[in-house]
Structures are given as structure tokens and as C-alpha cells.
């Protein structure tokens, strides 16, 4: 114990000698030569030099020391460090340690410190601070210009000159009160055209500020931007406290990502986070095999349905000729409807409240499309029969009517399934893109067999069946 005390005293004495020289290079050389734990002990023994010790160490070693200190010491150091050193330190800290530290600070202090982080580190920190995945909080940028109602126009321009260079968008300034609550947003043009002694409060209006909640989904932000023609929008808490802004370039990135993800899901795969050619072959396999297994198992139900009608197929073998035609027509109509509705939902053209209007339109369009395909199928059988290209037997007209009514039914059914499934998934708070074209086609295939042989049994009963 005495030996350790002697070592500590020797370290403190050596440090006092070096610090007295005021030679930053020598101080750095001395501190970097010490063990991390020894430097931590030095800070506890010499708290008046704590910020100086951290500032004069190499960044990586300073971060290693900082994360071992008590929160009270950390706060004190951050308050005393110059902004450039604080930025270096926070950016080099491991994300979890940085978040642990920030969670102990008041909201205003966190807001200012997040501004010092690099974009990637900021994104990580915000996500770890509690904002859900795909929430607006993960997109927001804390670099914005805010003013108070009592400020004059002259003071506003002083603020812009001081803080505007770090902001992504200064065409709109945000008015907050002392509690940090968002009161208004004012375009910079109004300040330019106003007298220098005009108060900000005189430029404020009574209109509700268009803002985003930090916990809203990112797709919500895209819709708000679209409807309001903005290049930036403020992000607030439930209590309307201003947290940051989201800019249009972030939203364009989100919409591109969402579009790619939806296209991949509609194609029957899991979403990829990387470009196609950069994905490892094994990872590509894993992303695709899941859906293929699900679809394969689903298609087995088609075989089960056909086994159920095995006797009918044996009695009228020619019915088997039209099975691919029937199944593909139903699957195609369902895939069409699914794609149209998913796209309309993505663009905000329809919502789940429009389900009845969607269903009504698909019933009418399904009947029209089914009648068209059914007529073509009937004509095809008639031509082949009369030109002796194929002999459908003496009951060829009943066969033609079977195909006609089956196509009407299955195309109508496919249209309804394809259009309603995305609506149902949306209502259940699931991704509508999950109702992908392959999934809808598989579902309609199974039910299509049942529709086909049910119609055939009704039309051909007493003749071929």
C-alpha cells in the first residue's frame, strides 16, 4: 500500500514539473507515456487540471480515459474543453459510452453536443438515445438556427452569422420560447425586408406550425414534405419542444430506400441493405430462400386441391389441359391489382379508409377483365373445334362455357384478393409490400383450382362428369 502511495506521489510530482513548463508537446509526451488507469488516478488527485489533461492527450487515449471517469468529472471536463477538442473526444468515444454520458445531461446540453458529432456518429448516437428504427428522430439534424420572440431583426442576423454556417437550411428560422417550445417558423426573406429594430414577435402569425414528431415513421415525413412543398421541417417532441430539423435530401434518401425495399418485397425476397453485386452469395441465398420455401409449401396446397378433384380429372381428362391457363390468369390479375394498390398507398393516393371504393372498383374491373378473357377462351375453343385443330368432343360448347365462367370467376377473385390483401396488412400495421406478386399469385392458384372444378362440376354434370 505504501509502495502504491509512493508511486502516486512520484507521478503527481512528475506531472507538476511537466505542467509547470507549459510546453504542450512535453505534456502530451508525458501523458501518453502513462498507463490509462494512472491518468485516471491523476485526474482524481488533480481535479483542477482534469480538462487540461484530457486536452493534451492524443484523442484515442483521451477517450479511453474519459469513459472511465465518474459522470461528474466528465461533465466538468466537457464544460471546460474548447469546442474542437470536445468534438474530437465525442467522435472518438465508443457509441455506447457516448450515449451513456449524454443520457445524464439535460436536453439542451445534449442538443448542443450532438451538433459536434460527425454525421455518421450523430446518426448512431440518435438511434441509441432511444428513437425507434425508421423514426424521424433518426433522420433529424440538430444544426438549425433558432431565435426568440424578443429578439430584434438585427440580433437575428447576428445569430445567423454566428450559427448559420453549420446549418443545412437557413432559409427558415425557428422561433422558440425559453422552454425550447416551437412557436413559429419564419422565412428569412421576412427578416431581410424588415427594419433592424423590428421584434421577431411582430413577424409571427397565428398559423399552426407544420412540424414532425420525432417518433413518427419516416414515411410520414415524406408525405408531409410532399403536401407542403418544403425543403426543411422542424422535428419536435410530444410537448412541442424543438429537437432538430429534417431536410429534403434526407427524405429523398428515405423514399429511395423505401422504394427499393418495397420492390424487393414485392418480388418475393427480404429487403437488401447493400447493392446487389456487393451482397455475399450466402447472404443472397438466405434472403431469397425463405420466401421460396413459403411459396413452395403454399403451392403444395394446389396439389392437394387437385388430388381432391382427381376423380373429375379422370372422367374429363381434357379439363387438365386448361389448368395452366386458368391458374396463370388468376395469378396475373391478382398480381396486377396488388401492385397497383401498393403503389397507390405508397404515393398516398389511397388509404385503408378507401377500402370499399377499392373493392367496388375491383369488382367492376374484375368482371370486365374476366369477361374479356373468358370470351377469348370460349372463342379459342370454338375455332379449334371447327377448324379440327383439336377435338373437344360432342360437348365442346359446355367445355367452352366452363372456361368462360371459370375465367370470369378467377379473374374477379384474383383482383379482389390482390387489392384487399395490402389494405388488410396496412390495417394490421404490417408492410403492404409483403403482399408481393408471387404471394398473391400462389394464393390465387390454390383457390383457382377450387373455382375451376366447382364450375366444371356445375356446367358439365350429367355430361362429362
What is the C-alpha separation between 50 and 197, in angstroms, rounded? 44
pLDDT digits (tens, 9 = 90+) for 151-207: 999 999 998 888 776 566 678 899 999 888 899 999 888 999 999 999 999 999 878
- The CATH 3.10.580.10 portion of the chain extends over 146-247
Instruction: Name, of 65-69, 70-74, 207-211, 359-363, the range with top average pLDDT.
Output: 359-363
What local confidence, expressed as pLDDT, does residue 268 receive? 47
Residues near 67 by beta carbon (within 8 Å), at least 6 away in sequence: 93, 94, 97, 101
Q: Does domain 146-247 have CATH number 3.10.580.10?
A: yes
* Strands ordered across the beta sheet of 212-213: 212-213, 232-236, 242-247
User: Hey, which CATH number is domain 277-460, 3.40.47.10, 3.10.580.10, 3.60.15.10, 1.10.357.20?
Assistant: 1.10.357.20
- The CATH 1.25.60.10 portion of the chain extends over 2-130
Cross-strand pairs, 181: 241
Produce one character per residue of 354-387: b if its CB has 16 or more CB atoms within 10 Å, e if not: ebeebbeebeebbeebbeebbeebbeebeeebee
> Range with the lowest mean pLDDT among 240-249, 271-280, 335-344, 364-373?
271-280
Asked if the model's pLDDT at residue 435 lies above 70, the reply is: no
Look at 377 and 318; give whichever has higher pLDDT. Answer: 377
| pTM, entire model | 0.51
pLDDT digits (tens, 9 = 90+) for 232-243: 889 888 888 888
pLDDT band at 375 (very low <50, low <70, confident <90, very high): very high
What local confidence, expressed as pLDDT, does residue 82 receive? 85
pLDDT digits (tens, 9 = 90+) for 76-131: 888 888 888 888 888 888 766 777 688 778 777 887 888 788 887 877 777 667 77
Asked if the model's pLDDT at residue 68 lies above 60, the reply is: yes
Asked if the model's pLDDT at residue 322 lies above 60, the reply is: yes
Domain 2-130, architecture per CATH: Alpha Horseshoe (1.25)
What is the C-alpha separation between 159 and 167, in angstroms, rounded? 12
- The CATH 1.10.357.20 portion of the chain extends over 277-460
Asked if the model's pLDDT at residue 29 lies above 60, the reply is: yes
What is the C-alpha separation between 160 and 337, in angstroms, rounded? 52
DSSP class per residue in 253-302: HHHHHHHHHHHHHHTTSPPPSS-GGGS-HHHHHHHHHHHHHHHHHHHHHH
What local confidence, expressed as pLDDT, does residue 166 receive? 57
Amino acid at each position: 500500500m505504501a509502495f502504491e502511495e509512493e508511486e502516486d506521489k512520484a507521478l503527481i510530482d512528475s506531472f507538476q514539473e511537466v505542467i509547470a513548463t507549459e510546453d504542450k508537446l512535453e505534456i502530451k509526451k508525458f501523458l501518453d507515456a502513462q498507463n490509462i488507469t494512472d491518468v485516471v488516478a491523476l485526474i482524481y488527485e488533480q481535479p483542477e487540471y482534469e480538462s487540461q489533461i484530457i486536452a493534451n492527450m492524443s484523442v484515442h487515449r483521451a477517450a479511453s480515459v474519459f469513459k472511465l471517469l465518474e459522470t461528474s468529472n466528465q461533465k466538468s471536463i466537457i464544460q471546460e474543453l474548447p469546442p474542437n477538442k470536445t468534438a474530437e473526444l465525442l467522435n472518438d468515444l465508443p457509441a455506447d459510452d457516448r450515449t451513456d454520458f449524454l443520457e445524464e445531461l439535460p436536453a439542451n446540453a445534449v442538443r448542443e453536443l450532438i451538433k459536434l458529432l460527425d454525421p455518421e456518429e450523430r446518426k448512431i448516437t440518435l438511434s441509441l438515445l432511444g428513437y425507434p428504427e425508421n423514426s424521424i428522430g433518426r433522420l433529424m439534424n440538430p444544426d438549425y438556427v433558432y431565435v426568440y420572440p424578443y429578439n430584434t431583426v438585427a440580433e437575428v442576423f447576428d445569430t445567423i452569422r454566428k450559427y448559420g454556417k453549420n446549418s443545412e437550411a437557413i432559409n427558415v428560422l425557428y422561433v422558440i420560447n425559453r422552454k425550447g417550445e416551437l412557436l413559429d417558423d419564419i422565412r428569412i426573406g421576412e427578416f431581410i425586408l424588415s427594419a433592424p429594430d423590428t421584434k421577431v414577435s411582430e413577424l409571427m402569425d397565428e398559423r399552426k406550425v407544420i412540424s414532425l414528431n420525432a417518433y413518427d415513421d419516416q414515411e410520414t415525413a415524406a408525405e408531409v414534405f410532399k403536401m407542403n412543398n418544403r425543403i426543411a421541417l422542424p422535428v419536435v417532441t410530444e410537448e412541442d419542444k424543438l429537437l432538430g430539423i429534417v431536410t429534403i435530401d434526407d427524405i429523398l434518401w428515405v423514399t429511395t430506400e423505401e422504394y427499393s425495399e418495397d420492390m424487393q418485397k414485392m418480388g418475393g425476397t427480404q429487403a437488401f441493405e447493400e447493392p446487389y453485386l456487393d451482397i455475399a452469395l450466402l447472404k443472397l441465398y438466405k434472403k431469397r430462400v425463405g420466401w421460396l420455401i413459403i411459396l413452395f409449401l403454399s403451392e403444395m396446397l394446389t396439389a392437394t386441391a387437385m388430388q381432391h378433384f382427381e376423380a373429375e380429372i379422370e372422367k374429363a381428362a381434357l379439363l387438365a389441359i386448361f389448368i395452366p391457363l386458368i391458374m396463370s390468369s388468376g395469378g396475373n390479375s391478382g398480381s396486377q391489382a396488388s401492385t397497383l394498390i401498393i403503389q397507390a398507398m405508397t404515393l398516398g393516393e389511397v388509404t385503408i379508409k378507401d377500402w370499399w371504393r377499392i373493392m367496388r372498383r375491383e369488382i367492376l374491373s374484375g368482371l370486365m377483365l374476366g369477361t374479356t378473357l373468358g370470351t377469348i377462351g370460349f372463342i379459342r375453343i370454338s375455332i379449334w373445334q371447327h377448324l379440327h385443330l383439336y377435338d373437344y368432343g360432342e360437348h365442346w360448347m359446355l367445355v367452352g362455357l366452363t372456361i368462360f365462367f371459370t375465367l370470369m370467376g378467377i379473374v374477379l377473385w384474383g383482383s379482389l384478393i390482390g387489392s384487399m390483401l395490402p389494405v388488410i396488412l396496412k390495417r394490421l400495421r404490417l408492410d403492404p409490400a409483403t403482399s408481393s406478386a408471387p404471394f398473391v399469385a400462389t394464393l390465387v392458384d390454390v383457390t383457382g383450382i377450387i373455382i375451376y372444378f366447382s364450375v366444371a362440376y356445375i356446367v358439365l354434370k350429367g355430361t362429362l362428369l
